[in-house]
Chain A
């Protein structure tokens, strides 16, 4: 009898397993992997009803929603729905007005006057006026690291109730671009919110955007709700600019650190958008007919070589030997698994930004020339000193790339050690230049070359006059053509000194419900026009 009961139990278990296997989604429809936006909201039949809530699975909880004091990309994904800027970027990365109506630049390039749109309301009901813009922009200028570095001593002043004026110390070509940038963007908040901010950041998330902050459940989610009194512009949506229709009542950003949970969630419809899909899951999701995969240029996987401490700093030939030894194809396929998820190009800037795209330095890039590397090592007088590659397993692509580099450098005769730490320890160790010779980092794209990490002497320690002059030259150039020439000089110098090299440009992968409409990606998730049919 007992055996019978057990047999029955085992049978049920087996049946459940078989049933589960049979009910698997066996659709193998071709998958598109579009870049950019999904179908426009206007294309749908009027009778269609849509979900009230859009569930977006992001990889981690942001440290804050204060865009001025963080570099967290998740902050910008979420805060972009709450806050707006004076100017923002369209799909071509050109500055276009958002809360400002226009801009008038003085002939000496030192003064920018912005008339503001009237009748714009904050989420607390207060009307946006010049005092709010002045308070917000001056806080950004004095607290944001990039603004402090690139716009020193700049200042906003109130001209009248609906006009503000920016005065800068030096005339440069990138002032409007910096103000329009989405990374670390200058949010406009009520003056009172700015005044109550502490070193930790702002306390009240009150903006003028199409969604207002509703709730932050620690380690769980952030919920935003449609702002009914939103006064936006009416132009066609393009990048971060244009109309923001907020067709979905509630946006919920859920913090899901585990990739397999994000994948399970998008498969079952729990999430409508799942960010950061790992390369190894690409094929699995691509074969699912209810899911759409979207890829977009995420940034550059870059190797930074120590020019200020340790063996590599003693002779340029060591660094050149490393550049000669690197086989970027091997490194990239190991890191990103699928060829469509990366591209090889020496440029440090986003290849989609034609203004800055250049292949200068290509002779130093992806050489995979072991003989040359050995020769350079010999010329440098290398006698077996150990070099240290710093990495972290917390970012799989950085770790994998480092291991491949270790193998490639070992083959040409370097004695190589890999120091692997968790990410916080990696960050701390990176700050001590005596502890590493090379590290690989996934670096997001910057809007202008002076913002890239490879040219920042504080960051990786490069102290090169050509680069310094070039950076100034880019900013002070009279025309875009001249600025690009200056940038080409800088990129060439980066490769000649061997202080940094791009390994590859990677595409980030986002999974969305196939039926989603109005969803866009630029460098960030754009969901203010997104909706999902019920």
Chain B
């Protein structure tokens, strides 16, 4: 297993190198001068030129890349030209809100999707199945920002049960922290739940038709035990894959929801950095996000072994 992990980590090196190359050049050939963006509409061409020079943006692009890459290899992702702080520090500060939101959203998604998926499979072809699948279809179709605005309007503005926007760190108290994350968490979680529900249902259906389930039932096992212990465990591998993928997208892709609910997470950081043309931050965040996605995939691969002994990696 250790050898497998080492092999996977080594295989990251060329991937990350390509990522640095692609992201650096895409960002730098995208129109939009950071100096002009910082100085705003009223700035004169002379001021823009002077700031570009001070920021080193007038140097040849390959020289800028080599300089940036050599710093990255030493653990320095550079400094944000807008926030005037190290990129690594900015990412660390924005990572906490995103992780909290992703965990809560995933929790909502799992609480909703696993029972719904199992029930839909068990009640295949019934009214319950059709209704749950219909709901999951709606959930897949609704954009998260629309759901977010709906929750904000109904639960935040009309009912005033939860804050409409903002963020408080965990240090302000668990409930205070959660209060600000429930609405965005629901907005993201419901969308993810729709996807996981459908996957759970189809995976369960496949397993429920297999012979060992018939055997279990013939042995006289209780239906609950057949479903949860025998069927669900065997159906869990594809579900785990989709859970891993959705968690990866939650960590990296909650851009719009973070923006609507003004949560200072990675999504908002990258969105603001694109608007500000803060090259160093965009490059740094993309690099870190790539690492996170690869890390999650690796973790899921390792979890396969824990869930299904047939795919344990140390087996010959």
Chain A interface residues (CB < 8 Å from chain B):
2-3, 6, 16-17, 19-21, 23-24, 61, 63-64, 70-72, 145, 149, 199-201, 217-220, 254-258, 260-261, 264-265, 267-268, 270, 394, 421-425, 427-429, 431, 441, 443, 453, 456, 458-459
Contact = CB atoms under 8 A, between A and B. Distances in A.
Contacts of B32: 421-422, 424-425, 427-428
Nearest to B81: A200
A430 to B, nearest CB: 8
A393 to B, nearest CB: 12
Contact of B159 (A19, A256, A267, A453): A19
A201 B51 CA distance: 12
Given A220-B264, A431-B45, A423 B83 contact: no
A457 to B, nearest CB: 10
A7 B151 CA distance: 22
A459 B36 contact: no
Contact of B36 (A64, A256, A394, A428): A428
B123 A427 contact: no
Interface string B218-259: 000000000000000000000000000000000000000001
B269 A424 contact: no
A264 B31 contact: no
Interface stretch (B63-71, B163-171, B197-205, B298-306): B163-171
Interface in B116-145: 119, 123, 127-128, 131
A145 B43 contact: yes
A427 B164 contact: no
B152 A428 contact: no
Nearest to B50: A199
Contacts, number: 138
Nearest to A23: B158
Contact of B166 (A2, A21, A270): A270
A18 B286 CA distance: 44
A64 B85 CA distance: 12
Most chain B CB atoms below 10 A, which of A219, A424, A429, A459: A219
A61 B268 CA distance: 12
Majority SS at the chain B contact face: helix
A70 B39 contact: yes
Contacts of B159: 19-20, 23
B166 A254 contact: yes
15 contacts: A3-B127, A16-B154, A20-B158, A63-B82, A70-B38, A71-B39, A256-B165, A260-B260, A265-B165, A424-B277, A427-B40, A431-B48, A443-B41, A458-B46, A459-B42
A71 B43 contact: yes
A489 B47 CA distance: 29
B128 A423 contact: no
A264 B261 CA distance: 10
Nearest to B153: A264
B264 A428 contact: no
Given A6-B128, A71-B43, A458-B45, 7 more contacts: A17-B154, A199-B54, A218-B93, A260-B260, A264-B164, A424-B32, A428-B31
A144 to B, nearest CB: 10
Contact of A20 (B45, B54, B154): B154
A268 B155 CA distance: 11
Contact of B44 (A16, A145, A257): A145
B131 A425 contact: no
A219 B268 contact: yes
Contacts of B31: 421, 424-425, 428-429
B44 A258 contact: no
Contact of B167 (A21, A71, A220, A424): A220
B272 to A, nearest CB: 6
B31 to A, nearest CB: 4
Most chain A CB atoms below 10 A, which of B40, B90, B155: B40
Nearest to B271: A257
B33 A424 contact: yes
Nearest to B93: A218
User: Which 9 interchain pairs have the tightest Cβ spacing?
Assistant: A424-B32, A264-B164, A425-B31, A427-B36, A20-B158, A424-B37, A219-B264, A458-B44, A220-B264
B42 A71 contact: yes
B128 A70 contact: no
A200 B46 CA distance: 17
A71 B261 CA distance: 27
Contacts of A217: 264
Contacts of B276: 63, 424
A333 B32 CA distance: 30
B45 A220 contact: no
Contact of A257 (B45, B85, B259): B259
A219 B255 CA distance: 13
Contacts of A70: 38-40
A209 to B, nearest CB: 22
A265 B157 CA distance: 8
A2 B118 CA distance: 13
Contact of B41 (A61, A71, A258, A261): A71
B275 interface: yes
Contacts of A199: 54
Nearest to B160: A268
A422 B275 contact: yes
Contacts of B28: none
Contacts of A270: 163-166
Contact of B269 (A3, A63, A219, A264): A219
Nearest to A260: B149
A423 B164 contact: no
Interface in B163-181: 163-167
Nearest to B145: A258
Given A145-B47, A219-B269, A264 B40 contact: no
Interface in B82-119: 82-85, 90, 93-94, 119
Contact of A423 (B153, B163, B275): B275
A518 to B, nearest CB: 25
Nearest to B97: A220
A482 B275 CA distance: 45
A116 B14 CA distance: 64
Contacts of A17: 154
Most chain B CB atoms below 10 A, which of A254, A267, A443: A267
Contacts of B264: 217-220
Contacts of B160: 268
A466 B276 CA distance: 38
Interface string B12-45: 0000000000000000001111101111111111
A219 B156 CA distance: 22
B297 interface: no
A431 B37 CA distance: 12
B290 interface: no
Contacts of B40: 70-72, 427
Nearest to A69: B39
Contacts of A220: 167, 262, 264
A199 B56 CA distance: 12
Given A6-B131, A270-B165, A428-B32, A459 B260 contact: no
B110 to A, nearest CB: 18
